[in-house]
Chain A
Amino acid sequence: MHSRTLTQLAADLAARRVSATELTRHFLARVERFDGELNAFVTVTAEQALAQAAAADKRIAAGGATPLTGIPLVHKDIFCTAGVKTSCGSRMLDNFVAPYDATVVERMQSAGIVMLGKTNMDEFAMGSSNETSFYGPVRNPWNHDLVPGGSSGGSAAAVAARIAVAATGTDTGGSIRQPAALSGITGIKPTYGRVSRYGMIAFASSLDQAGTLTQTAADAACLLEAIAGHDVRDSTSLDEPVPRYSKIIEERWENITIGVPESFFDDGLDADVATATRAALREYEKLGATLKSIELDYIHLSVLAYYVVKHAEASSNLSRFDGIRFGHRAANAAAGDLLTFYMRNRGEGFGAEVKRRILTGTYVLSAGYFDAYYLQAQKVRKLISDDFARAFRDVDLVAGPTAPAPAFAIGAKTDDPIQMYLNDIYTIGANLAGLPAMSLPCGFVRGLPVGLQLIAPPLAEGPLLKAAHHYQRATDWHARVPERYA
């Protein structure tokens, strides 16, 4: 049952081959059996899940079901869930029970999704390995000594180990696509503003976007249909109609042109990952796509611009966590003056990486530096965005590697923030330019999964998912499961 895709299970539920309650019990048993070793969950909501499953069964019986009714899913612990702890992977929010639902959660709930629990993540989504979580690292289902990627590492591990059918995630610089690649699953980061950020704890507001981690592109299409769309509670959400992605992906394949930025295949890319990525591109040629080399003139500046923008926005966004209205309050905090009180609550509540990023952001935004860093970064961002816009005049999609190497060992990069940052090198361009992008499994290197990244023009999630779906019809990389979890 657990190896079936969301789309297959939706058909099973509709045909009454399985009930939502049976399905939920099956997955909760797998969580119970395997999560001790994976640490993918911060909170398991078993009781609530069974109640939602019972409601889903009633709804299916009454004939008012959607394709998602009764599907067991997990939410990254960055999404607010009313009445359920929402920690964002931080000690700061270890005691925080969200008073409302995020729009993503609310929309899934109204579609009849069953929430199994909340998944582990890098603290405040700041990391590429899931090692900065207050709740400890998540282990990669393919090899427990390795990281699953991050920051949506718990979501990725849960889907890769088939202890959840699908998961939500967020992507600020690659936090859906990179863990999807390192864990051997499919991840999509939609266009900036395509999915509401309401109730999604903010990291870098001009880059953050919610998306999904699933076994297949068809599953992602189904979920995105439910969560995308305008939301008056998020002023950056796009007021655009949501296409029927699940129909678009089934449309006949048309010969598309795929742009390949040669700079993505530089010395920083693992040679075997390069080979696997090239092989995936040849597969697209076999499907009838034309490959075209392209140059993205400013992409080499993306890491620099990205680190300024995200640190600056993080320092501003995280200023709300002070231990007064909510969040961690240090035991001895009230002993000093108000300044000491703030400093103690925050000094104790945040982990080392988060503190480092807030301090860097504070530095680049401090008096005299704003123009030199933040404003300059926003100008470079425009150049990078124009680069992509130029490329999309000639090509339908841009393709390349998702991450520079397969999963690495837990602890291997924790002491060198810059090495860790370079994990995002191929993914951050899409965030800076606000473009939709995906990672899909495209092979194995040294026994570990590798992801192919596809990037599309704004709001072209339909064609993007369609290209991924057609690739997955021709290959079976996405269907591989670590032996232990098969």
Chain B
Amino acid sequence: MLTSEDIRRLCKLARIEITSAEIADVSAKLSSIVAMVDQLQAAATEGVVPMAHPLDRPQRLRDDCVTEPDMHALYQRNAALVERDLYLVPKVIE
């Protein structure tokens, strides 16, 4: 069973805020999912090579060259706050 402390730690790692009221429910549901997937440990997989691609294909590489034009003005239209082409976030350095 995941404790409320575990849930708080996971929320911080995952950068997700949940309310104190939600913690009990999230903990119960997450615990039941984890208990289910824990059964995976019982599978005999010694010597099995983990699957890297469903069709066993190698990852392709492309030439290291610029293919995209500068589109920042268009892309930044979706941002909440932009100033002088920069995305604004809360102050990090005092």
Residue of A at shortest CB range from B62? A232
A362 with B33, Cβ < 8 A, contacts A193-B55, A338-B92 known: no
Q: Shortest CB–CB separation between residue B58 and chain A, in angstroms? A: 10
Residue of A at shortest CB range from B27? A359
A236 with B14, Cβ < 8 A, contacts A99-B75, A301-B43, A376-B41 known: no
CB-based contact B45/A383 at 8 Å: yes
A347 with B16, Cβ < 8 A, contacts A380-B40, A417-B29 known: yes
Q: When each residue 354-368 of chain A gets 1 if its CB lies under 8 Å from chain B and 0 otherwise, what string results?
A: 011011111110100
User: B20 within 8 Å of A by Cβ?
Assistant: no
CB-based contact A334/B15 at 8 Å: no
Q: Of the 9-residue stretches A101-109, A136-144, A149-157, A304-312, which lies at the interface with chain B?
A: A304-312
A346 interface neighbour in B17, B40, B54, Cβ under 8 Å: B17
Q: Which residues of B contact A417 (CB under 8 A)?
A: 29, 32-33
- Bound-complex Cα distance A385 to B56 (A): 10
- Bound-complex Cα distance A368 to B77 (A): 40
CB-based contact B48/A356 at 8 Å: no
Q: Of the 9-residue stretches A53-61, A315-323, A400-408, which lies at the interface with chain B?
A: A315-323
- 27 A-B contacts (beta carbon < 8 Å): A95-B78, A99-B77, A192-B55, A193-B54, A235-B60, A239-B60, A304-B40, A304-B43, A305-B40, A319-B15, A325-B79, A334-B89, A337-B92, A341-B89, A343-B15, A347-B18, A356-B29, A362-B14, A363-B34, A378-B52, A379-B43, A379-B49, A385-B51, A417-B29, A417-B32, A434-B54, A434-B55
- Bound-complex Cα distance A99 to B49 (A): 40
B87 interface neighbour in A232, A325, A350, Cβ under 8 Å: A325
Within 8 A of B (CB), among A184-240: 191-193, 206, 232, 235-236, 238-239
User: A397 within 8 Å of B by Cβ?
Assistant: no
CB-based contact B54/A307 at 8 Å: no
CB-based contact B12/A339 at 8 Å: yes
Q: Which residues of B contact A364 (CB under 8 A)?
A: 37
Q: Which residues of B contact A346 (CB under 8 A)?
A: 14-17
Which interface residue of A363, A385, A458 has the most chain B CB atoms within 10 A? A363
Q: Which residues of B contact A97 (CB under 8 A)?
A: 77-78
User: A342 within 8 Å of B by Cβ?
Assistant: yes
Q: Shortest CB–CB separation between residue B4 and chain A, in angstroms? A: 13
User: B84 within 8 Å of A by Cβ?
Assistant: no
Q: Which residues of A contact B18 (CB under 8 A)?
A: 347, 355
Q: When each residue 36-67 of chain B gets 1 if its CB lies under 8 Å from chain A and 0 otherwise, what string results?
A: 11011101010011111111010110100000
Which residues does B use to contact A, with CB under 8 Å? 2, 7, 10-18, 22, 26, 29-30, 32-34, 36-37, 39-41, 43, 45, 48-55, 57, 59-60, 62, 71, 74-81, 87, 89-90, 92
Q: Shortest CB–CB separation between residue B39 and chain A, in angstroms? A: 6
Q: Which residues of A contact B10 (CB under 8 A)?
A: 359, 362-363, 366
- Bound-complex Cα distance A432 to B79 (A): 36
Q: Which residues of B contact A308 (CB under 8 A)?
A: 37, 40
User: A241 within 8 Å of B by Cβ?
Assistant: no
CB-based contact A343/B16 at 8 Å: yes
Q: Which residues of A contact B77 (CB under 8 A)?
A: 97, 99
Residue of B at shortest CB range from A96? B78
Residue of B at shortest CB range from A324? B87
CB-based contact B79/A350 at 8 Å: no
Residue of B at shortest CB range from A357? B33
User: A418 within 8 Å of B by Cβ?
Assistant: yes
CB-based contact A329/B40 at 8 Å: no
CB-based contact B75/A350 at 8 Å: no
Residue of B at shortest CB range from A432? B54
- Bound-complex Cα distance A301 to B38 (A): 11
CB-based contact B40/A359 at 8 Å: no
CB-based contact B87/A307 at 8 Å: no
- Bound-complex Cα distance A99 to B57 (A): 31
CB-based contact A339/B75 at 8 Å: no
B50 interface neighbour in A303, A323, A378, Cβ under 8 Å: A378
A338 with B90, Cβ < 8 A, contacts A232-B62, A434-B55, A458-B55 known: yes
- Bound-complex Cα distance A387 to B91 (A): 54
Q: Which residues of B contact A333 (CB under 8 A)?
A: 90
- Bound-complex Cα distance A97 to B75 (A): 9
User: A27 within 8 Å of B by Cβ?
Assistant: no
CB-based contact A344/B17 at 8 Å: yes
A326 with B79, Cβ < 8 A, contacts A334-B90, A338-B90, A417-B29 known: yes
Within 8 A of B (CB), among A253-267: none
- Bound-complex Cα distance A325 to B81 (A): 8
- Bound-complex Cα distance A95 to B50 (A): 39
Residue of B at shortest CB range from A95? B78
CB-based contact A375/B50 at 8 Å: yes
Which interface residue of A303, A356, A359 has the most chain B CB atoms within 10 A? A359
